[in-house]
């Protein structure tokens, strides 16, 4: 699906522009939080002839905003590193992007990759949604023969997971409910960068097959196990 893309780190004017936009964004929300009126340029409070108390309020508001940004950036970085790993990145490439050592990256993000095996995990709420433009129309916990098509896609599953995952695990309201054995040649790109899996036999595994795979260490979860939903969508890779 295309060649490798070369990464171009921000330098010079581009980096200056990023910093300037972030500075303006922080000032805009700081002015709002401090009650200083509309968020129109200039954002710098020193240009407005404000009192010491007003400037202090704006500065403290900006400190709080940067704290929020710090939390959001950290969370977003973890999501992006996880996605990059799923789509074939390695620790050395992540380290290069962050301009730190491989050891530092592995220490910070190592919990995203515990073990060399991976399973596809779909963890959703117990509900049904209708999408007129979707060929399935109804998705979610639809039940009956339509459940397999609802479970199998479409998901933003990366190439490494597609190549290595042996099982798909479906959890509902935080509890594993169904498991499928994946056909490695059965992946279909239903939408750009979104995939449908094909299960061996086009049906879920029975209790005996699940017990065999679980006992052999090939399956990390089994029906009845806890498997809560997480931020970022119903799908996630589960490394074990």
* Tens of pLDDT, residues 109-141: 887 766 789 999 999 989 988 877 777 778 889
Residue 1 has pLDDT above 50, yes or no: no
Q: What is the pLDDT of residue 232?
A: 66
| Helix residue ranges, H only, 34-116 | 52-86, 91-98, 102-109
Residue 231 has pLDDT above 70, yes or no: no
Cα gap 175→224, rounded to integer Å: 6
Residue 38 has pLDDT above 90, yes or no: no
Among the listed ranges 33-47, 51-65, 201-215, which one has the minimum average pLDDT value? 33-47
- The answer to whether 123 touches 228, Cβ cutoff 8 Å, is yes
What's the number of CA atoms in the CB half-sphere (13 Å) around residue 169?
Answer: 30
Q: What is the pLDDT of residue 166?
A: 97
Q: pLDDT category, 219, cuts 50, 70, 90?
A: very high
Instruction: Work out the average pLDDT over 219-224.
Output: 95
Instruction: Work out the average pLDDT over 148-165.
Output: 92
Give 68-88 pLDDT, tens digit per residue: 999 999 988 988 898 888 777
Nearest CA to 116 out of 222, 218, 232, 234 is that of 218
Stated as kind and residue range, the H or E segment containing 190 is strand 188-191
Q: pLDDT category, 36, cuts 50, 70, 90?
A: confident
- The answer to whether 81 touches 109, Cβ cutoff 8 Å, is yes
Q: What percent of the chain has a predicted confidence (pLDDT) above 70?
A: 90
- Across all residues in the chain, what is the average pLDDT? 87
Torsion of CA 206, 183, 213, 164, to 10 degrees: -150
Torsion of CA 114, 80, 134, 138, to 10 degrees: 50
Q: What is the pLDDT of residue 213?
A: 96
Q: Which tokens sit at 55? A: 């400037």
Domain boundaries, the chain: 12-110, 115-239
Residue 192 has pLDDT above 60, yes or no: yes
Q: What is the pLDDT of residue 233?
A: 79
Stated as kind and residue range, the H or E segment containing 23 is helix 12-33
Q: What is the pLDDT of residue 202?
A: 92
Residue 172 has pLDDT above 50, yes or no: yes
- The answer to whether 190 touches 143, Cβ cutoff 8 Å, is no
Residue 8 has pLDDT above 80, yes or no: no
Residue 181 has pLDDT above 60, yes or no: yes
- The answer to whether 126 touches 142, Cβ cutoff 8 Å, is no
Largest Cα span, the chain: 76
pTM, to two decimals: 0.61
Cα gap 240→11, rounded to integer Å: 38
């Amino acid at each position: 699906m295309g060649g490798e893309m070369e990464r171009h780190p921000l330098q010079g004017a581009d980096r200056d522009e990023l910093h300037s936009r972030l500075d303006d964004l922080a000032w805009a929300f700081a002015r709002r939080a401090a009650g200083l009126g509309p968020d129109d340029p200039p954002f710098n409070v020193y240009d407005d002839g404000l009192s010491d108390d007003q400037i202090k309020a704006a500065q403290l508001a900006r400190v709080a905003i940067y704290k929020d940004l710090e939390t959001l950036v950290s969370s977003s970085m973890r999501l992006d590193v996880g996605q990059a790993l799923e789509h074939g990145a390695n620790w050395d490439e992540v380290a290069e992007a962050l301009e730190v050592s491989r050891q530092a990256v592995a220490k910070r993000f190592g919990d995203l990759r515990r073990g060399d095996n991976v399973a596809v995990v779909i963890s959703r709420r117990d509900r049904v949604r209708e999408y007129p433009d979707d060929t399935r129309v109804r998705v979610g916990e639809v039940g009956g023969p339509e459940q397999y098509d609802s479970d199998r896609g479409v998901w933003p599953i990366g190439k490494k997971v597609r190549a290595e995952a042996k099982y798909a695990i479906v959890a509902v309201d935080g509890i594993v409910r169904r498991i499928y054995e994946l056909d490695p040649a059965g992946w279909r790109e239903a939408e750009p960068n979104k995939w449908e899996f094909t299960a061996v036999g086009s049906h879920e595994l029975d209790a005996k097959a699940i017990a065999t795979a679980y006992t052999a260490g090939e399956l990390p979860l089994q029906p009845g196990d806890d498997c809560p939903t997480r931020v970022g969508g119903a799908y996630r890779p589960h490394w074990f």
